[in-house]
Amino acid sequence: MKRLLYLISLLTLLFLFISNYPPCLAQQTTGPRIILEEKLYDAKDVIESTVITHEFKVFNTGDSPLEIRQVSTG
C-alpha cells in the first residue's frame, strides 16, 4: 500500500512538471532574425592595390525590423 501511494505521488509530480514544461518550449522568439545566404567569402590570392567586391545577401525572417549597425572585415 505504501509503495502504491509513493508511485501515485511520484507520477502526479511528474505529470505536473511535464504539463507545465511544454509551453516554455513552444514560445517563439520575437524580434529580428538574420539569415545569411553565405557566411564566408574567400577572395583567394589578391594582387596588391586590387579592389575586390562581394555582395552578401542578408534576410530578416523575424517579426521586427533588422538594423545592421556595424560591419567589419576579417
pLDDT attached to residue 59: 94
pLDDT attached to residue 58: 93
- pLDDT per position as a tens digit, 2-60: 888 888 888 887 777 776 655 555 566 689 999 999 988 898 899 999 998 999 899 99
Of 49, 58, 33, the closest CA to residue 71 belongs to 58
pLDDT attached to residue 28: 66
Q: Are 30 and 60 in contact (CB under 8 A)?
A: no
